[in-house]
Structure 1
Amino acid sequence: MTLEQPPATAHRDLHSPDGARRGEHPGRAGNPVVKVLDLAWLVFEKPDLDRAETFARDFGFTVAARTADELRLRGTLAGTDAVVIRRGPRSRFVGPVFQAAERADLDRLARHAGTRVRPLGPGRAGRVVDLVDPTGIPVGVVHGADVGALLPGQSPLPHNTGGSPLRINAAQRPVREPARVQRLGHVVLQTPRFLAALDWYLDTLGMIASDFLFLPGQRDLGPTMVFLRCDRGATAADHHTLAMHLGPERGYVHSAYQVTDLDALAAGGEYLAERGYRRTWGIGRHIQGSQLFDYWRDPDRLMVEHFADGDLFDASLEPGWAPMSASGLAQWGPPVTRDFLGATPSPAMLREVYAALRAEDTELTVTRLLALKKAMSR
């Protein structure tokens, strides 16, 4: 790929302790095929759509459409569907679908990939290009999909802070109800082909890096995690729309959905707990991205996140660089759990590790695997 090397002084120490050193990965491509605007939706398969719908409503989604074989979920903000769940033999993540800025972008992608632009589906507006990233994950890019209107949502609660009181003779009583999802924020993926996947998303979809993480003592080997945002020029975008990290498994780690504020997130978490769902980690505030977070498992053990108050960057900000560690995942909050880190071995995980280490296209070595394990224990 063709890469633009940023000036050594371009990082302004605004979001990470360090910027890139000369010769390190610049985190953006010089001439990408297209520049996607955002995630459109994520595609999953699940065998029990009734159970999936019950959890979705408890988590705070609005059901946009439901058939015998498909469940489409959306947030309260105007936009496309956020999640599409199709009936399948097992619960699994299929892949992300991104939004193209222009119809012509689909043609450019199709020519680049040697594929075609196709209709989105029967009764659906829009057209899509089907791609596959170096990890083997199907990636769609869509234009012209149906956009739902703004729905009633939760209003942020007024706070009395210092010398600026907003509430007089009024008590604060957050309603115990689902945290109303506003929109899809990001998806996190794991891959043993980290650098190949990173360059593909920069070169093909025009994404740019907000932050890199590296293994302590191995910075010279390059990053092992990246937080990618969409390049909208002077218009600010989420700190990350896609995050990826090196690891033995291929595919989904978690997905994140924005809610109104901390009270909505916390009261929504109490609502989920009362219904027997399992919290994975939270509540806390991240470092990279700054989001308030609360992680949960759905009934099929897929991890999902409520978040609020995330960072927004325009295209002028260069990537930050920081060491990778478990303690570096949050500014405050409870200690990170083994469940969140995926640190509880299972026969399936051990098979993934063995296969990743033996694969010809892997970037994972025993040395890096041990360093990852050590970093996640710090």
Structure 2
Amino acid sequence: MTDHHGLHSEHGARKREHPGRAKNPIIKVHDLAWLEFQKPDLWRAERFAHAFGFATTIRTAEALHLRGTDAGAPCVIVRKGARSRFLGPAFHAADVADLHRLAEATGQKVTALPESLGGAQVLLRDPSGARVSVVSDPRRFPALPEQAPHTFNFGHELARTNATQRPPREPAQVRRLGHVVVQSTKYVETLDWYLTHLGLIVSDFLYYQGQRERGPALSFIRCDRGATPADHHTLAIALGPSNRYVHSAYQVADIDAMAAGGQFLRDEGYRHSWGIGRHLQGSQLFDYWRDPDGFLVEHFSDGDMFDNTLEPGWAPMSASGLAQWGPPISKDFLGLAPGREPWRQLRSVISALRDDNEFTVERLRGLLKVASS
């Protein structure tokens, strides 16, 4: 097993702990393709999206497609509906043959995507009930002019002379979709489903303090591209009292783009959640915002990239341990800010404890310790 000391975690797995990958996955997806949401007001959604840094590719009365500057498919698809909700993620298959392999193994069909997207898909449901699409050969848009990263003078190494730094206060241009985080009452079952069906592999496990013997409660999961490095996590799954979207993250050029773009969002009256800081697992520079429908979205930059040789790290979970530096974690980020969310969370806890799932009283105690740490 790989020695984790001095790498991405202090410790690796102990004997008989979760290996973090399936022995014989059905396929290995290449990347996260896009996320799908439903919202009642597409004009309001588009206005925030432009302030956050997206560009529009399609805008109709029924749908909104948003992209970054990188070449490829849209990052986000918003469908008009009576209420706001997360519909699910789409993942890129390596090729169309993988779609047929996945369809045969799951008893599903390969179907054509809408003409606006192109390509084909296999539509599945994970154990938490989320709709998961695996797609091949969707329409690719050419790259857009991108926001250039700044040139920095580090110590005595001068890369910029007779030139100033003047980052404009404007939207931080989104380059691409990075990852999505979800919560599940069936954490291990859902984790194993993604490892087996999509060939994802775990970068880091977190466990509730004092409960390592009960198994992990959060996993950061990446694509297995062999020797080609992939984002530290494309998907993260957390144990919790409800099956829900937590947040999604979108890459921007650098910390200046993030900070100036954040100031632009503030000037436009949007709600800041937490940041700027640097995460521990994944190392990303981060800044979190709420869109008008309450969805948590993240600007990130400078994240870790791992190939498939690195085994999972294991570490205790704490609220303060989510960042190496930055402001104290906010109540808004934890879902504890005044408003409807804490009451919704309380109802979810009561409901989850009544049902037969992985969220037990002991796990609730572990989660409360995390929130208070």
TM-score by length of 1: 0.96
> What residue in structure 1 maps to residue 38 of structure 2?
45
Contact map agreement 2:335 2:342 (CA 8 A) in 1: no
> What residue in structure 1 maps to residue 180 of structure 2?
187
Aligned pair partner of 1:165 in 143, 158, 161: 158
**What is the RMSD of the two structures over their aligned residues, measured on CA atoms?**
1.1
Contact map agreement 2:336 2:342 (CA 8 A) in 1: no
* 1:355-374 matches, cutoff 5 A: 355-360=351-356, 362-374=357-369
CA deviation profile, 1:88-139 (whole Å, cap 9, x unmatched): 0011110000000010111111112211111001343100000000000000
User: What one-letter code is carried by the residue in structure 2 that aligns with 1:176?
Assistant: R
CA distance in 2, matches of 1:18, 1:224: 16
SS class of match (2:158): coil
> What residue in structure 2 maps to residue 4 of structure 1?
none
CA distance in 2, matches of 1:347, 1:166: 52
* 1:1-378 matches, cutoff 5 A: 7=1, 9=2, 11=4, 13-344=6-337, 346-360=342-356, 362-378=357-373
Deviates more, 1:117-126 or 1:341-350: 341-350
User: What one-letter code is carried by the residue in structure 2 that aligns with 1:302?
Assistant: F
SS class of match (2:47): helix
Contact map agreement 2:181 2:236 (CA 8 A) in 1: yes
SS class of match (2:119): strand
Contact map agreement 2:334 2:371 (CA 8 A) in 1: yes
CA deviation profile, 1:206-252 (whole Å, cap 9, x unmatched): 00000000011110111000000000000000000000110012120
User: What one-letter code is carried by the residue in structure 2 that aligns with 1:350?
Assistant: L
CA deviation profile, 1:267-308 (whole Å, cap 9, x unmatched): 000000011001100000000000000000001111000000
Unaligned ranges ≥5, structure 1: 1-6
Contact map agreement 1:13 1:19 (CA 8 A) in 2: no
CA deviation profile, 1:306-339 (whole Å, cap 9, x unmatched): 0000000000001100000001000000000111
CA distance in 2, matches of 1:68, 1:342: 32
CA distance in 1, matches of 2:90, 2:350: 30
Structure 1 236/338 Cα, relative in aligned 2: closer, same or farther at 3 Å? same
TM-score by length of 2: 0.97
Contact map agreement 1:11 1:20 (CA 8 A) in 2: no
CA distance in 2, matches of 1:321, 1:124: 39
Aligned-residue offset at 1:348: 2.3
Contact map agreement 2:119 2:135 (CA 8 A) in 1: yes
User: What one-letter code is carried by the residue in structure 2 that aligns with 1:374?
Assistant: K
CA distance in 2, matches of 1:138, 1:338: 29
CA distance in 2, matches of 1:346, 1:218: 25
User: What one-letter code is carried by the residue in structure 2 that aligns with 1:351?
Assistant: R
CA distance in 1, matches of 2:162, 2:96: 54
Give the share of equivalent positions with the same residue, in percent: 59
Contact map agreement 1:266 1:283 (CA 8 A) in 2: yes
Unaligned ranges ≥5, structure 2: none
Contact map agreement 2:28 2:94 (CA 8 A) in 1: yes
SS class of match (1:121): coil
User: What one-letter code is carried by the residue in structure 1 that aligns with 2:24?
Assistant: N
User: What one-letter code is carried by the residue in structure 2 that aligns with 1:37?
Assistant: H
Aligned-residue offset at 1:342: 1.6
SS class of match (2:103): helix
Structure 1 34/254 Cα, relative in aligned 2: closer, same or farther at 3 Å? same
User: What one-letter code is carried by the residue in structure 1 that aligns with 2:360?
Assistant: T
CA deviation profile, 1:136-193 (whole Å, cap 9, x unmatched): 0000000010111110011011111112112212111001100000000000000110
CA distance in 2, matches of 1:188, 1:145: 23
SS class of match (1:172): coil
Aligned-residue offset at 1:343: 2.8
